[in-house]
Amino acid sequence: MEDFSITTRLTAKDYSKAMFLGLYRKPKFIVSAILALYLIVSVILNQVKIINIYSETPYFEFFSGLFILALPTLIVVIGLRQLLSKQNCYEIKYTFGETTMTVQGPNFKSEFLWAHIIKQKEINKFLVLYQSKYNGYFIDKAKLTAEQIQFIKSRVR
């Protein structure tokens, strides 16, 4: 296939939505949310005397449940702050070739061999290509044809 290029503009809203969807697909976040809801509901039901689990006011359980529920939001906010601090990462041009992928912004240019892309994941309208466990490139699937998406997926091991 010939080399092809697309330009992706990543907004804070799109990034946040993709991050939340990505986090809540992970089993550990689903189980944590269920545990947090259990803690909060048991405290509320105990306070209105529907159940009697706790002998004293369970402040620790209530605040632990709130913290566990807020944790994904904190992770997204931290990631969003990093994204917003890098003014050059809003609009990125990706060029895909047989052996390399080039990433170019207003003041940088990087070229990667396909062997350096360790995994790919589809989240919402983005195809995310991971260069490391925590660093990925968000590529807008709406700007790609089905053949181009298949080409990219076939290059990632």
Domains in the chain, please, with CATH?
4-10+89-155 (2.30.29), 13-85 (no CATH)
Task: Please give the model's pTM, rounded to 2 decimal places.
Answer: 0.73
Torsion of Cα atoms, 139 then 22 then 119 then 153, to 10°: -50
Question: Is it the case that residue 69 has pLDDT exceeding 90?
Answer: yes
The dihedral built from the CA positions of residue 55, 58, 61 and 65, taken in this order, carries a sign that is positive
Q: Where are the alpha helices (DSSP H) in 1-145?
A: 12-23, 27-47, 59-85
Instruction: With a cut of 60, say whether residue 88 has pLDDT above it.
Output: no
pLDDT score at 74: 95
Say whether pLDDT at 77 is over 90: yes
pLDDT higher than 60, residue 33 = yes
